[in-house]
Structure 1
Amino acid sequence: MSLTSVVRHDISALPARAGLGLKPQHYAEILATSPRIGFFEVHAENYMGAGGPPHRYLEQIRARYPLSLHGVGLSIGGDQPLDREHIARLQRLVERYHPESFSEHLAWSTHDTIFLNDLLPVPYDRQTLRRVSEHIDQVQSALGRRMLLENPSTYVAFEQTEISEIEFLSEVVHRTGCGLLLDVNNVFVSATNHTYDATAYLDAFPVEHVGEIHLAGFAEDTDDHGDPLLIDAHGTPIADVVWKLYEHALERIGPVATLIEWDNDVPSFQVLLDETRKADRAIAAMAMVA
């Protein structure tokens, strides 16, 4: 069932401001200080239990701030049927918190009964395109809303690839009516690992379908040949080169909700707020131009 037959929402109802991933170590500080921030984002799988402290805190924070729900476990790109129980848990979570946005990754993380703690890439071919589109239709029909699909960070390329990543994403949007989540750090990581131009990628990206942007830090390594290898690690400040790419993306998209992702070696809340201020200044500058 395509999105044309379910309830339609805007690509994203999040405000065109910077937001943060919600971390348990910051619950109390957020509730005590009510910081000026555009929205919070949570990983759906962390809140699929029925109750307990995570929900108690999230309910209070949700009452004050817009919420983005980001999935990491649907395995949209997997070659087996989606887990109906997982979708049901996700549906209950959406009904409980009514987030302004829901997003998932263009990746797979399951095989048979095994769940892998990685977001693995998919080949860009017609068979995968059909399967991913069917999975997105299934999720959107269950949730009654449009989801955003995130471009991946990749470290290997498939020989059976038939079309480019941008062509793949554009066709998925055309077939399903979903929106896109543009992860600018993922663009730079993949462009470096596969030696293509990140700016040219952004210039070709179907920005009219973007409902949210992600920014994060990367880790630097080298491959077996001694060439640069970047890892989407989410454990360091956003690099200057990614900030520049972000500004270029805003020039094409206009003001849009932007998440600062920092999931590993999480610093103080103030450090994270400082990163949001940088993004807010870029968004405000673009709003003045617009």
Structure 2
Amino acid sequence: MNTPFECGAGLGLKPQHYDDALNCDARGLWFEIHPENYMVAGGPRLAWLEAIRERHALSLHGVSMSLAADRAPDAANLHRLRELARRVQPAWVSEHLAWSAWGGHYHPDLLPFPRNGAALSRIAANIACVQDTLGQRIAIENPSHYLSVEGHEWSEQAFLAELVRRTGCALLLDVNNVYVSARNMGFDAKEWLDAFPGEFVIEIHLAGHSVDTQTQPPLLIDSHDAPVDDAVWALYRHVIARFGARLTLIERDDHIPGFVELLAERARAQAILDDAEVTV
């Protein structure tokens, strides 16, 4: 990570919070954006982004690279990402271990795949393509799971560790995704986290979730529309105790409250990080 800023806990940057974000002086505060919202040649959004970048570190968290797809990342999309990265100089870039495009068709979701040898080779090649184009390594995020997929040859933790070995990428651990998946799929979230290769984690995501009662049994949905659940906070403390302090982001993408409320939730994560830095 190449940044002159001290980073601790961060927030997703929302347009309605630009002024508050620009003027906030909380220690260690940084902001994440979805680059797809800023891949333009100019305009007010980029002007605000460049102003905020003067005071706070930024990360780019992609949602459309479709790394697990059946072909290389879209060249035009990757070019736009590279141009944005050159313009705002993010401290780091991340993407999901999932696919959203297949056979030339786009699906507005982050979809699962069987973790087999063919998928491993394909995804490693796609990660290498992105990293070579950007000229920096990226971090790969574990997804949420809602149904069983047949054909797995690797555990998710081992699959991610092998991607790191083959490509030199880093990992982004989404603790809420683990909790949601554990509840939906019937495994123990703490045991899953204990098997995660924490030495490769550069960032952690925390978010709220919701319950879809129209399914039987009900599913937890990684909706990012609520405060972080107490059970997720408990898992986060467990992770930090095991791995040590890591850059942490509070995600909120719907039912977005005022900046002060988000900053208070962010302060809760920062306090846990501060305690870890003292005790580890």
What is the TM-score normalised by the length of structure 1? 0.92
Mapped partners of 1:101, 1:13: distance in 2: 12
Query: What is the match of residue 245 of structure 1?
Result: 235
Letter of the structure 1 residue corresponding to residue 102 of structure 2: H
Is 1:146 the counterpart of 2:142 in the alignment? Answer: no
State the Cα distance separating 1:221 from its structure 2 match: 2.4
Say whether the 8 Å CA contact 1:14–1:67 is kept in structure 2.
no
State the Cα distance separating 1:29 from its structure 2 match: 2.4
From 12, 18, 31, the equivalent of 1:21 is 12
Query: What is the match of residue 236 of structure 1?
Result: 226
Query: What is the match of residue 72 of structure 2?
Result: 81
What is the alpha-carbon root mean square deviation over aligned residues? 1.6
Is 1:101 the counterpart of 2:128 in the alignment? Answer: no
Judged with a 3 Å threshold, the aligned counterparts in structure 2 of structure 1 residues 85 and 284 are, in CA distance, closer, same or farther, namely: same
Superposed counterparts of 1:182-201, under 5 Å: 182-201=173-192
From 252, 268, 271, the equivalent of 1:262 is 252
Output one character per residue of 1:46-74: Cα deviation in whole Å (capped at 9) or x when no partner.
Answer: 11011111101001000000111111110
Query: What is the match of residue 227 of structure 1?
Result: 217
From 136, 139, 157, the equivalent of 2:127 is 136
Judged with a 3 Å threshold, the aligned counterparts in structure 2 of structure 1 residues 56 and 18 are, in CA distance, closer, same or farther, namely: same
Say whether the 8 Å CA contact 1:16–1:256 is kept in structure 2.
no
Query: Percent of pairs identical after alignment?
Result: 48
Superposed counterparts of 1:114-129, under 5 Å: 114-129=105-120
Say whether the 8 Å CA contact 2:174–2:205 is kept in structure 1.
yes
What is the TM-score normalised by the length of structure 2? 0.96
Say whether the 8 Å CA contact 1:208–1:253 is kept in structure 2.
yes
Q: Which has the higher contact order (CA 8 A, sep 6+)?
A: 1
Judged with a 3 Å threshold, the aligned counterparts in structure 2 of structure 1 residues 14 and 34 are, in CA distance, closer, same or farther, namely: closer
SS at match of 2:211: strand
Query: What is the match of residue 6 of structure 1?
Result: none
Mapped partners of 1:14, 1:198: distance in 2: 33
Judged with a 3 Å threshold, the aligned counterparts in structure 2 of structure 1 residues 14 and 145 are, in CA distance, closer, same or farther, namely: farther
SS at match of 1:251: helix
Is 1:285 the counterpart of 2:275 in the alignment? Answer: yes
Mapped partners of 1:33, 1:285: distance in 2: 22
State the Cα distance separating 1:36 from its structure 2 match: 4.5
Query: What is the match of residue 171 of structure 2?
Result: 180
Count of residues in Structure 1 that have an aligned counterpart in Structure 2: 280
Mapped partners of 1:223, 1:177: distance in 2: 42
Between stretches 104-113 and 230-239, larger displacement belongs to 104-113
Query: Moved runs in structure 1, 4+ residues, more than 6 A?
Result: none
Judged with a 3 Å threshold, the aligned counterparts in structure 2 of structure 1 residues 14 and 260 are, in CA distance, closer, same or farther, namely: farther
Mapped partners of 1:94, 1:277: distance in 2: 28
Query: What is the match of residue 112 of structure 1?
Result: 103
Say whether the 8 Å CA contact 2:5–2:56 is kept in structure 1.
no
State the Cα distance separating 1:98 from its structure 2 match: 1.1
Query: What is the match of residue 58 of structure 2?
Result: 67
Say whether the 8 Å CA contact 1:15–1:256 is kept in structure 2.
no
SS at match of 1:86: helix
Mapped partners of 2:271, 2:249: distance in 1: 14
Judged with a 3 Å threshold, the aligned counterparts in structure 2 of structure 1 residues 98 and 57 are, in CA distance, closer, same or farther, namely: same
State the Cα distance separating 1:223 from its structure 2 match: 6.6
Mark the runs of 5 or more structure 2 residues left unpaired by the alignment. none
Query: What is the match of residue 159 of structure 1?
Result: 150
State the Cα distance separating 1:90 from its structure 2 match: 0.8
Is 1:91 the counterpart of 2:82 in the alignment? Answer: yes
State the Cα distance separating 1:193 from its structure 2 match: 0.6
Mapped partners of 1:168, 1:157: distance in 2: 17
Say whether the 8 Å CA contact 2:115–2:154 is kept in structure 1.
yes
State the Cα distance separating 1:15 from its structure 2 match: 4.2
Letter of the structure 1 residue corresponding to residue 230 of structure 2: D
SS at match of 2:202: strand
SS at match of 1:214: strand
